Amino acid sequence: MFLGIDLGTSAIKLLVIDESNSVLAESNISLDVSRPQPLWSEQEPDEWWRALLKGIEDLKSQTSLSDLKGIGLSGQMHGAVLLDKKGEVLRPAILWNDGRSGKECFELEDAVPDLHRITGNLAMPGFTAPKLLWIRKNEPEIFSRIRTVLLPKDFLRFRLCGEAISDMSDSSGTLWMDTAARDWSEIMLAATSLSRDQMPGSLKEQVPEVSLRSELAREWGINTNPIIAGSAGDNAAGAVGIGVIKSGSAFVSLGTSGVYFVVNPRFIHNPKQGSHAFCHCIPDTWHQMGVILSASSCLSWLSSILKKNEGELISSLGSSPLNPEK
């Protein structure tokens, strides 16, 4: 059997399947987003971990995990999880939809005129690097204590196995990667006063296989030595799940954000037209995305205002030309 863990913005979702892909157990634990100031969007990484542990208990009430062979991770991209030298969280994670670092984006583009070619992207507040410039200017004491910067799902991996490791797809959404070369960019790291040593692991096409910590395996009733897979950012993982892995294949996803995703056989970038260029989690493959930051999250907001669930709101739209029976 295999365990999948997806760290979303509004919930962490867990799924257990068997060798034939039949679902054995599932859990969905809601998460809250903190907005202490306008444009801010934060979550406590330790809340993610507590939600994961709660989800595991849900799964155990539905099925035995004793024969678990592997664990896969996906999750929200771009968030900044800051750890000190002891591996402790220094502050709440700044999320992908946080908008506080607009000024820092201009500073970063001025500091690295070649930024678009190196990263394949515009500098935008959603990416990780501008967030760290904001931390350096506004929270210097915290910045001075940073030993490791992790992306959200990689923080869960760190708690699961004790290793700070990331993958190509998630890491290329930080603005610290030379996306064509599929490696960290020393130029981009230096522009934010960080070093390769503060990044998660060494980027490789094959993320090193690591195992679940033995104490967690015992607590969860696992008799095997489950491998934690290399994993991917949420959209790249979703692409693999639905077979969008060959050049020219594409999909549209409407979640908290809205995404149009298309696979490329080489690094193709067009940031001035608003497209993002990232590494796919498939070796020697890239993808471009068009993204809006609010999609179904707008429906959730309206649902809370009108005190109606999302299903009621959608059904009230009536029939459509594409689906006249609904």
pLDDT in tens, 99-154: 999 999 999 999 999 999 999 999 999 999 999 999 999 999 999 999 999 999 99
Q: Within a domain: residue 277?
A: no
- pLDDT at residue 124, rounded to an integer: 94
Q: Is 234 a catalytic residue?
A: yes
Mean pLDDT of the chain: 91
Phi, psi of 91, deg, nearest 5: -165, 170
Amino acid identity, residue 248?
A: G
DSSP 276-297: EEEE-SSTT-EEEEEEES-SHH
Bridge partners for 228 per DSSP: 71, 210
Q: What is the pTM of this model?
A: 0.87
Of 131, 243, 228, 224, residue with least CA distance to 176? 131
- pLDDT at residue 201, rounded to an integer: 78
Q: Within a domain: residue 91?
A: yes
Q: Within a domain: residue 300?
A: no
* 27 CB burial (10 A radius; 0-12, 13-18, 19+): buried
Q: Within a domain: residue 204?
A: yes
Please tell me the distance from the alpha carbon of residue 92 to that of residue 18, in angstroms, as a whole number: 36
CATH of the domain at 113: 3.30.420.40
Q: Within a domain: residue 302?
A: no
Q: Within a domain: residue 316?
A: no
Q: Within a domain: residue 283?
A: no
- pLDDT at residue 270, rounded to an integer: 87
- pLDDT at residue 323, rounded to an integer: 46
Number of domains the chain is built from: 1
Q: Quickly tell me which residue has 């960290």 as its tokens.
A: 184
Question: Which residues in the chain come in under a pLDDT of 50?
Answer: 320-326
- pLDDT at residue 320, rounded to an integer: 46
- pLDDT at residue 145, rounded to an integer: 98
Q: Within a domain: residue 9?
A: yes
**Residues 6, 197, 234, 284: which is the catalytic one?**
234
| Residue span of the structural domain in which 166 resides | 2-242
Please tell me the distance from the alpha carbon of residue 198 to that of residue 82, in angstroms, as a whole number: 10
* 227 CB burial (10 A radius; 0-12, 13-18, 19+): middle
Phi, psi of 289, deg, nearest 5: -140, 145
End-to-end CA distance of the chain: 38
